[in-house]
């Protein structure tokens, strides 16, 4: 069998991380021939998997909601599907491509990999909610994975599943080491093609981490910047701070999480899910971006139902508040949480729906 994955490639990168990992698992466990298509920062994720990853080069062919099907890049993808002849197509974060591929190739099964907010987003305009639902309803199989479950919408005629978040396989191989003095700040997939507020919020998280490093010299802080823009900005502020180390590029999970005593991060779905699996104490920031910020606030709220070592912070919180939260976090005694990833559920769904096994 053959499969093509098409994954949205700009902040956040959870869609590319999950999508490429799913393809990789299908390749390893079921010997399926796979190919991935992404763009912008999404290409950085492909470096850590031995997959065939193709890039969309023309940023003008990408809208705020993903690839424009009626463009050079969109038509290039259609041509690739026609040539490669996949048995199914996995799509994450590209609503326009879901409906277009079903129009052009009605016999090819399309699997939409979704975030809960793709289906239920009360903070979005009603017209936008209806538009996204209509696009995704065209998929033969819709799989929502996240920190909470949702019901099948009325206008979805085909298979629909809601499961826990699919996380990278490497996460299960990482050993937690609470005795270390290593504090890790994860700034996500960088700020390529993001708006100004997203950029400012990302820099703000870095600045607050730097303040913590100054106030807590007994700990070593590592900041994973995710892109050159953030790296250069943060570098100017940390050149004389000995207990801060910067990483420019996106790093594999074992580099980030191994021996981390605590995590500081933006509250993305995938990062939180990995933190829950690893059960690492974390300070999580919800951004001020309208819809994205609302989603991240709900991500934190959902995570706190499973873990007593996750603390929610706001970008606008004062340094003293963050210092107190950090001290409180390190004093907490971790309890085992009962959250588990949706990896096995998702692969089982694909085996049943696509391979009838």
Q: What angle do CA 164, 169, 172 make, to 5 degrees?
A: 85
Q: Report residue 100 as tokens.
A: 């277009």
The answer to whether the CB of 36 falls within 8 A of the CB of 27 is no
Percent of the chain with pLDDT over 90: 67
pLDDT range class, residue 357, cuts 50, 70, 90: low
The answer to whether the CB of 135 falls within 8 A of the CB of 156 is no
Most confident by average pLDDT, 19-28, 136-145, 174-183: 136-145
Res 325: pLDDT: 96
The answer to whether the CB of 273 falls within 8 A of the CB of 341 is yes
Does residue 53 surpass a pLDDT of 60? yes
pLDDT digits (tens, 9 = 90+) for 272-330: 999 999 999 999 998 766 656 678 889 999 999 999 999 999 888 899 999 999 999 99
Phi/psi-derived region of residue 208, left when phi > 0, alpha when psi is between -120 and 50, beta in every other case: alpha
Beta strands in the chain (DSSP E): 2-7, 33-39, 53-56, 62-63, 66-67, 88-92, 109-114, 141-146, 159-164, 182-186, 220-224, 244-247, 260-266, 282-286, 310-314
As a whole number of angstroms, the distance between CA 172 and CA 102 comes to 36
Which has the closest alpha carbon to 114: 4, 18, 216, 11? 18
Does residue 355 surpass a pLDDT of 90? no
pLDDT digits (tens, 9 = 90+) for 71-96: 999 999 999 999 999 999 999 999 99
Res 287: pLDDT: 74
Q: Do 2-166+342-355 and 171-331 come out as alike in CATH topology? A: yes
pLDDT range class, residue 9, cuts 50, 70, 90: confident
As a whole number of angstroms, the distance between CA 207 and CA 204 comes to 5
Cβ neighbours of residue 65 under 8 Å, at least 6 residues apart? 95, 96
Res 289: pLDDT: 63
DSSP 271-326: HHHHHHHHT--EEEEE-S-HHHHHHHHHHHHHHHTT-SSEEEEETT--HHHHHHHH
Domain boundary assignment for the chain: 2-166+342-355, 171-331
Res 172: pLDDT: 83
pLDDT digits (tens, 9 = 90+) for 315-348: 888 999 999 999 999 998 778 888 999 999 999 9
So what CATH class is 2-166+342-355? alpha beta
CATH code of the domain occupying 171-331: 3.40.50.2000
pLDDT range class, residue 124, cuts 50, 70, 90: confident
As a whole number of angstroms, the distance between CA 196 and CA 207 comes to 16
Q: pTM (2 decimals)?
A: 0.93
pLDDT digits (tens, 9 = 90+) for 141-200: 999 999 999 999 999 999 999 999 999 988 988 877 767 899 999 997 666 666 788 888
Q: What angle do CA 284, 286, 287 make, to 5 degrees?
A: 135
The answer to whether the CB of 278 falls within 8 A of the CB of 175 is no
Q: What is the arithmetic mean of pLDDT over 44-51?
A: 68
User: What is the average pLDDT value for the chain, to the nearest integer?
Assistant: 90
């Amino acid at each position: 069998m053959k499969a093509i994955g098409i994954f949205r490639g700009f902040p956040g990168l959870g869609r590319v991380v999950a999508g490429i990992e799913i393809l990789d698992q299908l390749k390893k466990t079921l010997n399926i021939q796979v190919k991935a298509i992404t763009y912008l920062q999404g290409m950085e994720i492909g470096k850590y998997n031995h997959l065939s990853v193709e890039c969309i080069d023309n940023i003008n062919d990408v809208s705020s909601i993903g690839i424009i099907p009626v463009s050079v890049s969109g038509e290039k993808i259609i041509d690739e599907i026609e040539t490669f002849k996949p048995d199914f197509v996995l799509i994450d974060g590209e609503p326009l491509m879901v409906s277009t591929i079903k129009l052009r190739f009605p016999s090819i099964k399309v699997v939409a990999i979704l975030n809960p907010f793709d289906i239920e987003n009360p903070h979005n305009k009603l017209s936008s909610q209806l538009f996204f639902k209509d696009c995704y309803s065209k998929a033969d199989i819709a799989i929502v994975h996240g920190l909470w479950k949702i019901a099948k919408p009325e206008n979805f005629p085909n298979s629909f599943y809601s499961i826990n978040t699919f996380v990278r396989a490497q996460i299960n191989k990482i050993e937690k080491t609470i005795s270390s003095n290593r504090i890790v700040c994860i700034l996500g997939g960088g700020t390529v093609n993001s708006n100004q507020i997203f950029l400012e919020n990302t820099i703000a998280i870095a600045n607050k981490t730097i303040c913590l490093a100054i106030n807590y010299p007994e700990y070593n802080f590592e900041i994973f910047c995710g892109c050159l823009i953030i790296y250069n900005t943060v570098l100017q502020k940390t050149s004389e701070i000995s207990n801060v180390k910067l990483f420019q590029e996106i790093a594999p999970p074992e580099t980030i999480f191994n021996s981390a005593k605590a995590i500081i991060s933006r509250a993305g779905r995938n990062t939180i899910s990995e933190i829950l699996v690893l059960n690492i104490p974390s300070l999580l920031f919800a951004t001020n971006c309208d819809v994205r910020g609302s989603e991240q606030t709900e991500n934190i709220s959902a995570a706190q139902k499973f873990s007593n070592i996750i603390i929610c912070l706001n970008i606008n919180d004062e340094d003293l508040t963050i210092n107190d939260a950090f001290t409180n976090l390190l004093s907490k005694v971790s309890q085992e949480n009962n959250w588990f990833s949706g990896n096995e559920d998702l692969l089982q769904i694909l085996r049943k729906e696509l391979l009838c096994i």
